[in-house]
Amino acid sequence: MRACQDADPEAQRELYECYKTKVYSLAFYLSGDAELAKDLTQEIFLKVFRDLRAFRFESSFGSWLYRLATNTCLNALRSRRTRREVGIEEVTGTAAEIDADSLLEQQQVDRSIQRAVRKAMLSLKPPLRAVVVLRYIENLSYGEIAEALSCSVGTVAARLSRAHRLLERKLHSSQRAVS
């Protein structure tokens, strides 16, 4: 980390490899758009390497990274509100995923459910979606989410509860269709 602060290219690459999956997954599930997720991941890491020099290890690096990443994604989504378009693959899965679907019937059902879940998550407003993604995709604790979103643990719990109520409605019809 110290080497990254000195802009050591190898250390930067190592840090990127270490966190790329988490950052890209966060961007993908928050934006629902693979191409935008790539752009956001790039932007987030550029900000990380730029701002890392000012990081003084007074908080955990993970929390700092998640705060920066979530804010970057939410800001981008906010600015894109005026030009909304939903790509087909956002909710149906990529061609590779669809090919994989045909392997086994059970896998196919699992994929259908996953798609329905992803679709339902995408229907949430970005601030609620952020809590859900941080909790269930990134596996953060309530405390870590609170730190990443600069809010209280109580707020995190309230947002998760609200998100579940909305997801329940969205998933109800999908699950009925799958079963």
Binding site for other proteins (CB under 8 A): 7, 9, 12-13, 16-17, 20-22, 24-25, 28-29, 35-39, 41-42, 45-46, 49-51, 53-56, 82-88, 91-92, 110, 113-114, 117-119, 121, 123, 132, 136-137, 139, 142, 157-158, 160-161, 164, 167-168, 171, 173, 177
Instruction: Read off the amino acid at residue 70.
Output: T
What is the smallest separation between the CB atom of 172 and other proteins, expressed in angstroms? Answer: 9
What is the smallest separation between the CB atom of 149 and other proteins, expressed in angstroms? Answer: 16
Nearest-angstrom CA–CA distance, 59 and 145: 14
The 10 Å Cβ neighbour count of residue 178 is 14
What is the smallest separation between the CB atom of 7 and other proteins, expressed in angstroms? Answer: 8
Counted residue by residue, the chain has a size of 179
The residue among 22 and 74 lying less far from other proteins, judged by its C-beta, is: 22
134 contacts 26 by C-beta, under 8 angstroms = yes
Instruction: Read off the amino acid at residue 69.
Output: A
What is the smallest separation between the CB atom of 151 and other proteins, expressed in angstroms? Answer: 15
Q: With the C-alpha atoms ordered 87, 107, 176, 162, is the resulting torsion angle positive or negative?
A: negative
The 10 Å Cβ neighbour count of residue 49 is 17
What is the smallest separation between the CB atom of 61 and other proteins, expressed in angstroms? Answer: 14
Burial of 63 (0-12, 13-18, 19+ CB in 10 A): middle
The residue among 49 and 61 lying less far from other proteins, judged by its C-beta, is: 49
> Six-digit token pair at 86?
């939903």
Centroid of chain to Cα 177: 27
